[in-house]
Structures are given as C-alpha cells and as structure tokens.
Structure 1
Amino acid sequence: MALENRDPPTWTPPRDPVSSSTPLVLYNSLTRTKSPFVPVDASGRKVTWYCCGPTVYDAGHLGHARNYLTTDVLRRIMRDYFGYEVEFVQNVTDVDDKIIKRARERHFFNQYKLEHPKLDAQVFAETRSAFDKFARNTKGFPFDTVSIDQVPEWMLSQKELLENPILDEDQTIFKVRILALDSVANALRSAPNEGSMDPEKYWSMVDSVLSVYLGDVKKGDISPEQHAIFADYAAYWENHFNEDLRTLNILPPTVTTRVSEYIPENIAFVEQIIDNGFAYAIPGGTVYFDVNAFEKAGHYYAKLEPGNRKGDANQEESVLPPAPVSQDQAQPTVSAADAEIENEKAQKRSPRDFALWKKSRVGEPGWESPWGYGRPGWHIECSAMASQVLGAQFDVHSGGIDLAFPHHDNELAQAEAYWHKDPKESAKPVQWVNYFIHMGHLSIAGSKMSKSLKNFVTIRDAIATGDWTARKLRILFMLGGWKGGLEISQNFRAEVDLWEKTVSNFFSNVEALTRESESSDGPRQKHLFRPQEKQLRQDLEAAQKQLHASLCDSFNTGPALSAILDLIGKTNTYLKNNQKSASNPTAYFSLAAVQEVARWVTKMLQVFGLSTTTGADAIGWGVDSSTGSDSVQNKESIALPYVQVLSRFRDEVKALAIANKSVPVCQDLLKLSDSLRDGQLLQLGVALEDRDSSIGEQALIKFGDPAELIAAREAKFQAQLEKEAKKQAAKAEAERLEKEKAEKAKLRPQDMFRTEEYSEWDEDGVPTKDSHGEEVTKSKKKTLKKAWDKQKKLYDSSLALAGKS
C-alpha cells in the first residue's frame, strides 16, 4: 500500500484492558475515540504524565488558565478520586524565537532609556526611523501616502475596525499595529513642542515600536554566549507564571524541565536520531528531521492530524505574524536574516522536514554542538526532556488543542525516531505516548485568546478587577468540560455564579446549624431514621453514582457538578419541609443526615481543587487562593461567643417589642433591631436569620463575606419589593375590573346593541337586521342573545343591590 494511502497504526493498550480494574474510560486524541485507561505500570497504580508548559515571554491569560486549571482538575481526579500515583512532568520553554525577540527588545530599550535620560533630537530622529520601519512592515498601512502628521486623520477611516469587538486573526494583528503607530505619531507630534513632557510618558507611548526597532538594529551587539540577557527575561515571566498558578490553586509539577537546563540531553537526542537515519545536518549548522526516511522505515507521520501529513501547515515556531497585505501594496523588504532562513529551507530534502537543531543567528543565544553554535528546535525539547524523565513510554501527554499539529505530531515522530525499533524485526512498533489529552480553546465574543494576537485578558487583570476569582474560573472550566471549545458568555457566567452561590449558601446554612447545635444551650439533635431521612440517604447515593459515572466517562465534570447541585437542592427541600414553625411546632430534621451530605460535597470539592479544607470531616470551601479570604473559620472561633450574646439579647428585645407593639417606644426598638441585623452586623460579615420567636426559635447565626451578605440581603429586599409591587398591581387591576364591571352593569340590556352596526331590533333590543338591512344569521343571533342574557343578569343584580341600599 502506498504511503500516502496508509491509515494511522492501531493504538494498543500496554496491558489487557479486560483484566484491568480501572473504571475510567478516556477520550484519546490518538484514536479520536474513548478507550479504557490502562497505565503502563504493571501494578496499575502509577501514572506517568507529561504536560506541555508555557513559553515564558509574556503574562499568562485566561486561555492559559483554561488549559492549566483544567489539567489540574483532571490530574487531581486521577490522583485523589481514582487513587493513582501521578508523576506529573511539565516543561518550561525558556529558549525560543518569541523569547529571544522580546528579551532582545527589552534589553536594548531599557539600555536606550538609561543612555537618554532627557528627550533630545537623537531620540526623536530614531523614533521616527522606528515609526517608518514599523509602518513599512505593517501590511495594509499606506506608509507611502500617510505621514506621521496625517495618522490621526487616517485612523478615523479605521473607526469600524477599531470599534468592532469581534475580529478575526488578521484584523486583530492589524489593529494592534496601527494603534502602536498612532501612539508613536502622537508622541512625536507632542514631545518636541512640549519640552516639559514627562520622559516616562514618552517612553510608554513609543515602547511597542521603538523597542522592536532597537532590538533589530542593535542585535549584532549580542554574542551567542550572552545567555543572561535571555535567561533573565525568561526567568521573570516564569516566576510571573508560577505566581499565577499558585493564585489559581494549581498543584506544582512533580518535575519541572527547562530547555536551557537540558541542552546536553537535547544534543544527544538529536545525535541519536541522526545515527538512526532520520535526520540530517545542512551546511551552516541546522539539523532537520527527515520525514520521508521516517515513513520509509515503516513509521507513520502526523498520527494526531493525518490531514496535515503532507506538511501544508507551518512547521516552525512563529513570532508575531504580520497583518494581511492589500493587492495594490508592495511586499515589505526581506531582511538578510530572513533571506538566510529561506536559503536554509531551500536545502531541506522535503518541505515537510522540520528543524531539530537551529543555527544561532545574529543576536541569538547559542550553545556549542557537533554542528556549531545553535539551540534546540521548537519540538525537540519536549521529546528529549520527556524521554529523559519518563523513558521510552509513558501514559498521558496533555496540552492545548492548537499544539496537536505540528508540535505534538512532531514530538511523536522525534521520539519514535529516537527509540526506533525496526518494524520488520519487532512485532510491536514504538508507541511513545498512550493517551493524548487536548484542551479546547477559550474564546470571548467568538475570538480565541492569544498572546501573539494581544487580544487576551491576563489572569492577574481578571482577578484584580474582581471579574473572576480562582474558584469561579475553576467552576467555569469544569462546567464547560475539558475537550471542546469554550466561550465565555453572560449566560454562562450567570450559570457559574448561580452554582457557586447555591453551594455557598448551603455551606453557610449547615455551618450555622452546626454551631447552634454545638452551643451549650443549643437544641438537642434527634437521630431518628424516618422515610424523610431514608430518602435523603438515597438521594446522596444517587448523586454519588451519577458523579462517579460522569468522572469515569472521560472526566465529564459538567454533569458531575450538576449532580452536586441537584443533591444540594434536594437537601435544602428536606430542611425546609422539616423546619420547626408555628404551624408545625413539632417538626424536626436530622442535622447528622444533612452534615453527611455536606461532608461528601466538601470531599468532592477537595478532589476538584475547589475546596482547600483538609480532613475527611471538613465542611465548606476553605481559602480562596485568589482573594485571600477564607470561610472565616478562624474569625468565627473568636467572634462567635460575642455574636451569640448579642444575638440572644436582640432576640429578647425584639420579643418584648412585639409583645408590646402598642407602646410607641417598642416600634423604635423593632426598627433598631432590624437596623442591627441588616446594617451593622452585615458589614462585619455576620448574618442573623430570624426564625419563629413565638415558639422560642432564636435567630440563626451565619458568617460570610460582608459584600456577599449585603448583596444577598439587597437581593432579598428587592425581591420583596417586586413581590409587593406585583401584589399592588394585581390589586389595582382587580379594582379596575370591578369598576369597569360596575359601569357596565348600569347599561340596560335593551340598549346595549342599539348602535350603527344594526338597523332593526326586536322588543327586547336584540338585533334582527344589520346596518345593510340584511337579516342577522341564526348563529349570530344566538350569540347576541347569549350576551343579552348575561347583561340582563348583571343589570338586574345591580338594581337589586341599589334597592337594598
């Protein structure tokens, strides 16, 4: 069979899945189907997992949060629910084109600012040069006809683009670039005429253009051995990224691998691939993977995305791509560096071949190798480092769906080439990874988030503005599932808020009831097992089964969260139906049964990373790592005795005031009592939930976040206002109808049809002919007579009432 028509090789589990005890079925990108999860480990308990980590050149955004938070949820489920020992390896890409370019730009821009503490003619001249070069290389910008002074006027013609919230990739790139040009144009027009212009303001306005210019024209000043320039830049963003992960309560990797720290391993990996006959070096020092040789040896290329096996997709890492070029615009000038790259590509044996080792160019870091100064290619790092730590075969490889091709497909090819066994001599071909997990994209208003496109919301900004918390983001991604694309919409956000609020209210209620029962004068708890409690137990068991089935079904977390919410709803109904009241003073509920539900819910939230509490008997959320606010457990232990005294005092004052309503001062006491409950205490994070004092029920004490408690009180008050408004509207409508009915009752039935619509009537005033003199039909006359009888009855009733009065 021709190579072009070959199907991907059949995936095989490392052991017989029938004899394996695992209940988990996992969607595998390698097979595009669900299959039983069977670890490589013979004992079936250890799971080896490699995750593609960040390329550290900018701040992490919500798209990254979607990837790494979701991965963390799946890892926790694997470890804490299914009980596997997970060895989790994650790399940090601290050497690549984007990092090199950005680090070089920051280095020279910061250096330039130090060399020019004051704005001078040289600064303005070089900024203008930077503007010209940036404009010339912005495809779609008419640099030959629009001068710096004309930029503001030209920007007006781009109003539709600038105000459109939904842009495709090319439009987004173009928008970013023209906004940068506009900023520089404004700085150049203002600075020479305003000698007092703050230099820092100027630098901030020209940064995105001048830094690019300086990084390019001065790159020759950097030698390949100057690793610190790039390492320091990458280290800053790596620390930034790790701080974000801690904020999001994401577990650290078991092992972290950095490209810069695995250079010898990368070199040895490339050498072995060359020795196995699947790679070649070209003059100058770049080493390419030989895809054709790989396939001729019996391997299959592009297992994850077979449609790309001919190499139509971009094989290399890319920096910020240019905007689209118009048909009437000339192409930008090709630099010497770009020409060199194109010359090297021309020396490839096939367009499908990709770089394993890249020659260091001007202004780039490099390490000595058998092929000269260079650095690892985009894909080789993961193959080399994962193989170094996890060996010839491991269980799970995860990453964003955008990495499936070419990155992950090339990883697979490189690893199989390194661990090559002749398929003709080996019955079992190389299978480096058993399960690929790819997380879907995150989008807002239909646009995928991307650092390269600069259309992202950073993790820190999202949390700092209060739009999101670590908990809300985790709930969002769990509700949305891990595999498909996810778009943040208002409806989806409302679903997240409702889920969190329902769980929070449930925990708050259970914690308050528990505190009350544990107090010295609290109600004595009953532990009978009636049909109500039996039903609640059955509801808990049903939820446990539903959640288990969902997690076994390829980590289907959305239905798992729905099972928890449904159980909480049933538990709340149980509490409501068995709450003591004046109408049912002997009612009671089993707090132990409710606590059992709350403990299981907490346990599952611990598994998902939503609750930071510890211990099997814990109840509640625990600390939210992004806000620093906890479930006020520590504060409660200090404040509770004082709040209890105050609450009891208020209960007694309120009871006395209600019993003596006729005394004027008691009305004031009731107002003060409500003000204490709805004002001062809420602002301190204390909520008093009044119960029926006529049967001796004291207010239930709840603790919580002041803002949330106040918002809940306002929502309740607003609901009461709306209910009262509806009641008043219904009353007004009833009065209107009654008045209308009374007016109608004054009309004699003999007169009700004497209108221009008819021309003749009988002795009772019922029409016999219409306005044209035509006889009224029998059916019409029947209808008219029925209305006449109804009006007569109404009229006679009105006369009777008038006679009585």
Structure 2
Amino acid sequence: MSARRPAWSQPDARPGLSIPPIFIYNSLTRSKTPFVPVDPSGKRVVWYCCGPTVYDAAHLGHARNYVANDVIRRILQDYFNYDVVFVQNVTDIIDRARQRYFFGEYRSQHLSIDDQVFKTSHEAVAYYIKETAGLPDGLDVRNFTELTLPFAFLYERSLLSDEEIILKNRLSVLSRATSMLDDMSRVVPTTDDDIENFYATLEPVLSEFLGSTLKETITEDMSHIFSDFAQYWELDFNGDLRRLNCLTPTITTRVSEFIPENISFVRGIMDNGFAYPIPGGTVYFDVEAFRSAGHCYPKLEPDNGNRADGNASSASESPASTESGPHATLPPGDDSDEILREKRLKKNQQDFALWKKSRAGEPSWDSPWGKGRPGWHIECSAMCSHVLGSKVDIHSGGIDLAFPHHDNELAQSEAYWSSRDEYGGQQWVNYFIHIGHLSISGSKMSKSLKNFISIRDALSNTGGWTARSFRIVCMFGGWKAGMELSAGAKQKAIIWETTVTNFFAHINALVAEGNVLASIIREPFREEERWLHDQLAKAQKSMYDALCDSFNTALALEILAELIKSTNTYLMEHKKTSATPNAYFSLNAVREVAKWVMRIVNVFGLAAPSDGEHFGWTVPNASSGEYPRSSADAAMPYVQVLSKFRDRLKMLAIANPDSAISADLLALSDSVRDEQLIPLGVSLEDRNTTIGEPALIKFADPEDLLSAREEKKRQVAEREVHKLAIKLEREAAERERIEKAKVAPTTMFRTDEFIEWDDDGIPLRSQDGAEITKSKRKTLRKAWERQKLMHEAWLSQNDA
C-alpha cells in the first residue's frame, strides 16, 4: 500500500498580483501546480540547483541535467521576464582526491617497472578483489579466470541491473589488471609506451589500494591535496557548461567555504530537539522526534518512509551511482568496524548524519563535537538557507536525488526553520523540479556504470555533437521524463535544426536584397499577408500556452517548425504567381516572423542575441564565451557586386544565344556559382532571369553547401540516367511496334495453334479440330482489324 502524500500548501496567489499562468510539474505533489513566487511583487524568483561533485570530467548525463535547468531558467527570465536568482552549489570535499594524489606520487617515484612495483600491484589487485562485493573468497591473480566463471552471465545477457553492470565493470578492471600482471611475469615492460600502458591498466586498482593504505600519512599541511583537486575539476566543469551555452549561476556556493554555516545549521537543529550526537563526534538527525513534532518524513518519496538508506550522509558513504550530487565513494577498508559501531549507536536506522567524524585521510574541521566534516545532505540545506533564507521558490536536481538527498534536505531545513518567526510554518521549498535520467542502451548514463560520454569528447570534432544539437535533443525529450540518447532522437534534432538554419539563410538573403532594392520594393497587404500575420499570432499564442504548461519545450519546437513551414509556403506561392519582380511578397511580414523565431531560439539558448537584422546561429568562443560578429555582414557588399556582375553577364549570354561565346559565358557563370563561391560559404540562388530577377545571396556553412551541391549533382545524374532509361525503353517499344506492324493481318494467325482459316486469315478450327466459338472469333476479329490498320500505316510510310 502506498504511503500517503503529505499536505502541500499552495503559495498565496495574493489578490491583484499579475503573474503568468504557469503550471509546473511539482515533485512535492506529483502534479502540475500553479506557479506563484514567494516575492510579494511577483517579480523575483529564488532557485537553488544541486550542482556537481567535482572529481572527474562531466559527461552527457550531467549535461542533460544542467541544460534542462538552463532552458527552464531562460524561459522564466527571458520569456516570462522574472528576475531569477539562480544559486548552484559545488561539492568540493572529495575523498577521491586522496586516491589520485597517492597514485600520481607513486607513478612519479617508480618510472620503471621493478620487483617492488610488481609486488605492490599484486597487493592492490588482492585489495580490489576483497573490496568488490559479490566476488568469491580466495580469488587472486592465479585463479581469477577459473573462479569468475559463475559470472559469465554478465557478458552473455544484454540487459543487466545497475548493480550487475557495476560488478561487470569491476570484473573487467580486474581482468585487465590480472592479464597485465600475467604478461609482466614473463616480459617486463621497458619502453615508455609499455610502461604508460601498464600504469593506465593498473590505475583503478592501484589508486584504491594506495588511497586506503597511505591515508594515515596525510596531515593538516596536506589539505591542498583536496582543494587543488577540486579547483581543477570545477574549472573543467565550468568550461563544459560554457561549451553547452549554459548561463553561469547568479551565485555559486562551495561546501568548503561554508563550514561555519554548516556547523551553525547543525547546532540550530540540535537546539530545536531534532538531532543528537554520539560518542566520537558524529551528529545524527532524529527522524522520530521530527515526526512526533507533527512533521512529515519523507515528503517527496513517502513510499520510502521505512527505508534506512538515508544514511548515505557523508562523502565516504554516499552511493557512487548518484552522479549529479553525492561524493565519490571509497571502500570502507579498515574503518568498517567504526562505521558499524556508529550505526549501532543510532536511535533509528532511518536517522542520517548531519555532521560526520572524519576518519584518517579525510578532510576535517574543528566543531563542537570534534574534528569532522558536513554530512552529504546538510551542505545544501545550510548553503541554500544562508543565501536564500527560509522560503525558496524552486529547488532542482536529477531525479535520483529525490530520495534520500532532497527528502533529507527538506526534513533538516524545516527542522532548523521551525522555531524561527520568518519561517511562518510554510514549507521550505514550494516547487521541486527533478530532471529525468539520460540513458544509453537502456541504462542510466553514469560514471559508475562506465557507459558515459564526456561532454568534451561529445562536442569535439569527432564526437558527432554540437551544443545546439544536444540542447535540441534535450528539448524534444522534455525535462521531466527519462530520455534515451538514440540515433533517432539525434536525427530528429538535426532535421529541426536544418529547417531553422535554411529558413534563417533564406530570410537573410531576402533582407539583404531588400536593403539594396528598397526604392522599388512595395509592401503589399492582401488576404495572403493577413493570413501570414494570423499564423504568427497563432504561433505566439500557442508558444505562450506551451511554455505555461510546465515548460513544454517539445511542443514549442514543433510550433516554431510549423510557423516556418507556413512562411515558406507563403513565399513559394507568391513567387509562383507573381510576374512583377520584388513585389510578390511582403518583406516586412516575413521579417516579423523571422524576428520572433529568432527571439524564441535566443530564449532557449540555441543562439546568441545578434545586433541588427541578422538571423541565424552563432557559436561562442570556447574560452571567453563571447559571440563574434557574423562575417556575412562584412562580406555582403562585395558579394553583391560580384553577384550583380554575374547576373548581367548571364543575361547578355541568354539574350544572344547565337553568339560564339554565349555558351562559354554561361559555363563561366555556373562555375562562379558552383565551384568558386560554394567553398567560401556563399550560395547564389538563380531565379527568373527572363524578368531580370537577381540571384538570391545566402551565407551558410561551406560543408553544408558542398554537401548540397554534391546531392544536387547526384540527383541530376539520377534524372539523366532515368531519362536515358525511358528513352531506351521507348526506342525498344518502337522497334517492337514496327516489327509487329510488318506482319500482314492475313498471316498473323497462321500458326500451329490453328488448322483452318477463312479467306481473311481468321482461324475457324483449333489444333485439336474443335470449331472456334463465336465469342473467340469476335475477339480475334478485333485483333485482326487493329493489325490491319497498323500494317496499312506501315506500308504507307514505306511506300512514301
């Protein structure tokens, strides 16, 4: 039986407050609820987003989360005109820094492979085997292959659980390591490449082993190990977000910079009677005391009300598969007895740590309860409350954070604020936005499952993705549901992007042409223009409704595509029906459509705001994040001069077809268009030369133009082949007709099929002596008459 969902208080709509009718899917209610900001004026929105744990390169699963947040943020502030204060944390207390540090030190001290390295590597493999759950006792390098046979199913089944995938990955690490050690026992690596390959293969097992066995050697003077490591990966993460065209947070909070606030927050919860310390210095949240005071726990996932896995409250205990918030996990090692002792001292197995006693080799700070560090959940509560206060509009993060992370955040924050006047008894967060997983081959993309694609690799020249194409895929997938990274989803995004790109190129060309010919352009307003303006108004209304409906970006993209289709239809129809150059459509009307489309793609973060009237995509500089001015604007005057010269040359050649050089001039004109300008990113689209229409100038990616040119050549070649096939077929049919016409009707039926004929040669009896029936004779007579006409026509032609 499902647990009852807790009551949720709809924020006061405040009579007279004018706000957009936005409905947001709220994880607190599991339904779409009206969005009402806490701000009395209804203008300011405060938002806290769970940020990264910076210990390695970010992947597309992270990108999915932060791009979705960015799109919603942009919609709120750039479409609905809210003043959004966007706070994002960085978890920079990383145990994995210890592993990386000691491995790097070991690697630099052992530049060659000797007996000591061989011995340490065997010890590291044995340690890794011991700490890998599910592996049999006694497994070592010598019997690894034999004793892992029961796990062969991991390599035979196509669908595995997350736990099975993790086990499979760890077995793969061990398999590579044991194979390397086996090879090393026969041939010791000596070349630089072989030594590098050895360390790359053994790194997973060596880093875990060294991080555990050497942790006692870390002193307070070595705290830079953790800060340097975190700073490096934070800068790396920020660079990835710039590449993805994500806005920077209004405020960034780092856990290491909020230690006093964390301690004060824990003390406040204890003062309110909702937390207790245990011997050794760990402080636990008291779930039963919280419930007894009338509070609800857990709010987001009430079905998990009896689970005890909310205890993943420190960097060394948090689940490794939770990619978007928790710290990287480490095996418990020699501290496992202490962990079990602490768990036995808890009042309730659901209680979770607010402050953790630091063990050997972990970062630590002084506190009233002893040296320790913040628990996993308390970090966000303390930082968010310190920056945004007791009332938060939106809290967002990956769906895997709903329980236990966000549920524990809610509980400890409401426990802290419950005695304070400014809280007023309302919920701490009004709206929870949880972003669905990005999956690949049916599994959530994550570091622990080893099925990830880094953002940097994906956006590289060989990665097959651009920031725009990935954002479009995310927008088509929506933000709430899980999304499969499939070839079909990517192709859909490419088709949409190409549609918009071609539309912008066409409008840019028309606008540039209009600026030159402004003195002779007339702007008609007929029923056709009224229809186009109505299509724009309809799209604007539909867009508003879609974005009010929990930010329905998939529908929003379809609305843009449909408007572009309508505009293209308008342009094509009036180009066909008009005989007057430059007056067959309203440039103002199509320009208004393009301006609005450009505004919306800017809102979505698909393009940068541009000056003037240039429509299209621009790409930010990877390091500065700035958007360059389009080179098309600078090149246009020169291309226009060349295009006019070419148009005049072509018209002269067409007007004088008998001239000896006309054919050469036309060939030269086509060469300029197809061979000279296309590699430079310039397309000249010839129009009706007989009425003096100039070529339409478009700027585009040279590769796209070259591909289009080759495709056009292919289509022309196919048409020529098809024409030749039809010609040959017709010639064959004509030869067959002539041969048939040569036969006289009196002899056409004199075959072995019949034995008796009348004077005209029409059969009377068949081969078996049977008389030909009247109906068949009638059919044969008709065929005889047709042949007679054909034969007479042939005789007439040949006599002539």
TM above 0.5:
yes
2:172 to 179, 186, 189: 179
Matches within 5 A, 1:104-143: 104-139=98-133
Q: Is 1:414 matched with 2:412?
A: yes
1:256 matched residue in structure 2: 252
Question: 1:318 is paired with a residue of what secondary structure?
Answer: coil
Q: Is 1:487 matched with 2:484?
A: yes
1:349 matched residue in structure 2: 347
Provide Cα deviations, 1:277-298, integer angstroms capped at 9, x if missing partner. 2111111111111111111111
Displacement, 1:790? Answer: 7.2
8 Å Cα contact 2:749-2:762 kept in structure 1: no
AA of the residue aligned to 1:479: F
Between 1:15-24 and 1:508-517, the stretch displaced more is 15-24
1:453 matched residue in structure 2: 449
Question: 2:575 is paired with a residue of what secondary structure?
Answer: coil
8 Å Cα contact 1:290-1:353 kept in structure 2: yes
1:683 matched residue in structure 2: 679
Q: Distance in 2 between matches of 1:676 and 1:616?
A: 29
AA of the residue aligned to 1:125: K
Q: Is 1:563 matched with 2:559?
A: yes
Q: Is 1:692 matched with 2:688?
A: yes
Q: Pairwise CA RMSD of aligned residues?
A: 4.0
Matches within 5 A, 1:285-300: 285-300=281-296
Displacement, 1:7? Answer: 4.2
8 Å Cα contact 1:612-1:622 kept in structure 2: yes
Change in 2 beyond 3 A, CA 1:801/1:149:
farther
Change in 2 beyond 3 A, CA 1:585/1:9:
closer
1:704 matched residue in structure 2: 700
AA of the residue aligned to 2:638: Y
Q: Distance in 1 between matches of 2:764 and 2:564?
A: 64
1:436 matched residue in structure 2: 432
Question: 1:398 is paired with a residue of what secondary structure?
Answer: strand
Segments of 5+ residues of structure 2 without an aligned counterpart are 323-330
2:163 matched residue in structure 1: 170
Displacement, 1:657? Answer: 3.8
AA of the residue aligned to 1:241: F
Matched pairs, number? 778
Q: Is 1:384 matched with 2:382?
A: yes
Displacement, 1:719? Answer: 3.6
8 Å Cα contact 1:67-1:399 kept in structure 2: yes
AA of the residue aligned to 2:318: S
Provide Cα deviations, 1:92-141, integer angstroms capped at 9, x if missing partner. 1112xxx20x2111110111122223332211221122123223444566
Provide Cα deviations, 1:518-549, integer angstroms capped at 9, x if missing partner. 23x67722122111111111111111111111
Provide Cα deviations, 1:294-321, integer angstroms capped at 9, x if missing partner. 1111111111111111115554153547
Q: Is 1:641 matched with 2:637?
A: yes
2:470 to 451, 469, 473: 473
Displacement, 1:194? Answer: 4.1
Q: Is 1:70 matched with 2:68?
A: yes
Question: 1:193 is paired with a residue of what secondary structure?
Answer: coil
Percentage identity across aligned positions? 49
Provide Cα deviations, 1:231-251, integer angstroms capped at 9, x if missing partner. 111111111111111111111
1:326 matched residue in structure 2: none
2:210 matched residue in structure 1: 214
2:79 matched residue in structure 1: 81
Change in 2 beyond 3 A, CA 1:659/1:9:
same
Displacement, 1:678? Answer: 1.9
Matches within 5 A, 1:393-404: 393-404=391-402
Change in 2 beyond 3 A, CA 1:586/1:387:
closer
Provide Cα deviations, 1:739-795, integer angstroms capped at 9, x if missing partner. 788889979899999999x99999977999999x9x99x9xx98x899768756654
TM-score by length of 2: 0.87
Change in 2 beyond 3 A, CA 1:355/1:696:
same
Change in 2 beyond 3 A, CA 1:628/1:115:
closer
Q: Distance in 1 between matches of 2:722 and 2:271?
A: 83
AA of the residue aligned to 1:480: G
1:511 matched residue in structure 2: 508
Q: Distance in 1 between matches of 2:121 and 2:640?
A: 68
2:669 matched residue in structure 1: 673
8 Å Cα contact 2:310-2:350 kept in structure 1: no
8 Å Cα contact 2:468-2:606 kept in structure 1: yes
Provide Cα deviations, 1:140-165, integer angstroms capped at 9, x if missing partner. 667856746986x9999999966988
Q: Distance in 2 between matches of 1:753 and 1:90?
A: 97
Displacement, 1:174? Answer: 3.3
8 Å Cα contact 2:49-2:396 kept in structure 1: yes
Change in 2 beyond 3 A, CA 1:16/1:658:
same
Change in 2 beyond 3 A, CA 1:149/1:309:
closer
Question: 1:688 is paired with a residue of what secondary structure?
Answer: strand
Q: Is 1:622 matched with 2:618?
A: yes
Question: 2:512 is paired with a residue of what secondary structure?
Answer: helix
AA of the residue aligned to 2:32: K
Change in 2 beyond 3 A, CA 1:185/1:38:
same
Q: Distance in 2 between matches of 1:453 and 1:359?
A: 30
AA of the residue aligned to 1:302: P
2:326 matched residue in structure 1: none
Q: Distance in 2 between matches of 1:300 and 1:580?
A: 68
Between 1:84-93 and 1:345-354, the stretch displaced more is 345-354
Change in 2 beyond 3 A, CA 1:489/1:514:
same
AA of the residue aligned to 2:100: R
Change in 2 beyond 3 A, CA 1:284/1:671:
same
AA of the residue aligned to 1:432: W
2:31 matched residue in structure 1: 33
Displacement, 1:26? Answer: 1.4
AA of the residue aligned to 1:318: S
8 Å Cα contact 1:581-1:695 kept in structure 2: no
1:602 matched residue in structure 2: 598
Displacement, 1:20? Answer: 5.0
Q: Is 1:538 matched with 2:531?
A: no
1:338 to 336, 355, 364: 336
Q: Distance in 2 between matches of 1:384 and 1:514?
A: 54
Q: Distance in 2 between matches of 1:687 and 1:458?
A: 36
Displacement, 1:592? Answer: 1.3
Between 1:55-64 and 1:572-581, the stretch displaced more is 572-581
Q: Distance in 2 between matches of 1:263 and 1:312?
A: 27
Change in 2 beyond 3 A, CA 1:282/1:683:
same
8 Å Cα contact 1:655-1:693 kept in structure 2: yes
Q: Distance in 2 between matches of 1:69 and 1:11?
A: 29
8 Å Cα contact 1:280-1:287 kept in structure 2: yes
8 Å Cα contact 1:613-1:623 kept in structure 2: no
Question: 2:116 is paired with a residue of what secondary structure?
Answer: helix
Q: Is 1:193 matched with 2:188?
A: yes
